[in-house]
Amino acid sequence: MRIGLLTGGGDCPGLNGVIRAAVLEGVRVHGDEFIGYLDGWRGPLERASQPLSVGDVEDILPLGGTILGTSRTNAGRPERIEAIKANLAADRIDALIPIGGEDTLGAAARLAEAGVRCVGVPKTIDNDLSGTDVTFGFTTAVEIATEAVDRARTTSRSHHRGLVVEVMGRHAGWIALHTALAASAAAALIPEVPFSLPDVAAKVRALVAARRDAVVVVAEGAVPRADAIDPEAGRPVDEFGHVQVGGIAHHLAERIAALAGVETRAVVIGHVQRGGTPCAYDRVLTTRLGAAAVEALHRGQTGVMVALQGPDIKTIPLAQAVGTLKTVPPELLAAHAALL
């Protein structure tokens, strides 16, 4: 089989692990040939690609980012689906493995409907894709963010200050909640549950008075209840209509300082939590997912995504995975309220 691979959307630690495992499995077990399309859907749209051999991939498991590059090119438009189909035929591609999140896999679902054999691999540090217990990159991001909060906490204590640490999570607060729990932070503010600014400020004031530190973890997409913080105003929008988010920590720190009367600073971890080497858990998960995607293609499957379900890697329809986001149930945050 001649298989095309591509990585789309925001990058994520572990993308290279999927690429490596797919190529090793395909070449060694089935005698497949691999083409890597460059920069997400731009690759098959413009026929920008490179051959992928075992030698190209065998050492890339610990490498952050993606050796194929990525972009937020939207392939889902009908004319683009047709163009990609024609280009894949011209490149003699039998099947495609797109590795990406909701947007990349949404386009993969449309391509599969149009007759292209596709098996997707779910990716996002935000962990908000349905149908899989966890997405790779999430565990690494939480490790990085936890270390950042641990470090923020010692300086918060030295100076008797509040600190607001912003992590990624546009629609879902998985990173914020897990980081806050792992680092025993003062609060986790997540997009799913609008927060009360006066309550957060009161908590910071009380904690700084009682134990001299207070670190609040906020997801970039969190929104205050009945308040007018709008960090998205005037921001650029990508091809999928997503507004660039990020920066709420600065607004929040100013408001907390004013309301609590406690000096409060902001830290935005930003892309640091998406860069660098994947943790061991993500290396193993990506290795299993990459190999499973190739096996699914050889079983004749298409229009599906490989997914971690309990101890197993299963396949589920792409449409099911991209239909609804997996957000943090508000009860989960409430259940941990006493621990934050």
Shortest spacing between CB 101 and ligand F6P, in angstroms: 6
**Closer by beta carbon to ligand F6P, 231 or else 303:** 231
Task: Select from 58-66, 164-172, 300-308, 310-318 the region that touches ligand F6P (CB under 6 A).
Answer: 164-172
The angle formed by the CA atoms of residues 324, 113 and 128, to the nearest 5 degrees, is 20
**Closer by beta carbon to ligand F6P, 26 or else 101:** 101
Candidate residues 170, 178, 255, 283; the one interacting with ligand F6P per rule CB under 6 A: 170
Contacts (CB under 6 A) with ligand F6P, residues 215-234: 220
Candidate residues 32, 39, 103, 126; the one interacting with ligand F6P per rule CB under 6 A: 126
d(CA 278, CA 64): 7
d(CA 191, CA 176): 10
**Which of the 8 DSSP states describes residue 28?**
I
**Closer by beta carbon to ligand F6P, 67 or else 202:** 67
Give residue 331's Cα distance to chain centre: 23
Identify the bridge partners of residue 257 per DSSP, sorted by sequence position: none
- φ/ψ (deg, to 5) at 298: -75, -15
Shortest spacing between CB 207 and ligand F6P, in angstroms: 27
d(CA 134, CA 123): 9
Pairing of strands 49-52, 33-37: antiparallel
Task: Select from 38-46, 53-61, 122-130, 157-165 the region that touches ligand F6P (CB under 6 A).
Answer: 122-130
Shortest spacing between CB 48 and ligand F6P, in angstroms: 20
Task: Select from 166-174, 225-233, 280-288, 292-300 the region that touches ligand F6P (CB under 6 A).
Answer: 166-174
**Closer by beta carbon to ligand F6P, 203 or else 326:** 326
Measured on CA atoms in the order 261, 265, 270, 275, is the torsion positive or negative? Answer: negative
Chain position whose Cβ is nearest to ligand F6P: 10
- Binding to ligand F6P by CB under 6 A, coded x per residue (else -) over 263-292, reads -----------x------------------
d(CA 255, CA 275): 30
Give residue 123's Cα distance to chain centre: 6
Q: Does 168 sit near ligand F6P (CB under 6 A)?
A: yes
Q: Does 125 sit near ligand F6P (CB under 6 A)?
A: yes
Candidate residues 4, 10, 162, 231; the one interacting with ligand F6P per rule CB under 6 A: 10
3-state secondary structure of 99: strand
Q: Does 169 sit near ligand F6P (CB under 6 A)?
A: yes
Q: Does 71 sit near ligand F6P (CB under 6 A)?
A: no
**Closer by beta carbon to ligand F6P, 198 or else 270:** 270
For 1, how many CA atoms within 13 A lie in the half-sphere containing its CB? 24
**Closer by beta carbon to ligand F6P, 159 or else 242:** 242
- The residues carrying an active-site annotation are 126
Pairing of strands 312-317, 304-309: antiparallel
Of the candidates 290, 272, 292, the one whose C-alpha atom is nearest the C-alpha of residue 282 is 290
- φ/ψ (deg, to 5) at 41: -70, -15
Of the candidates 256, 248, 81, 231, the one whose C-alpha atom is nearest the C-alpha of residue 161 is 256
Shortest spacing between CB 285 and ligand F6P, in angstroms: 17
Candidate residues 245, 306, 322, 328; the one interacting with ligand F6P per rule CB under 6 A: 245
- Which residues of the shown chain bind ligand F6P in the complex (CB under 6 A)? 9-10, 124-126, 168-170, 220, 244-245, 274
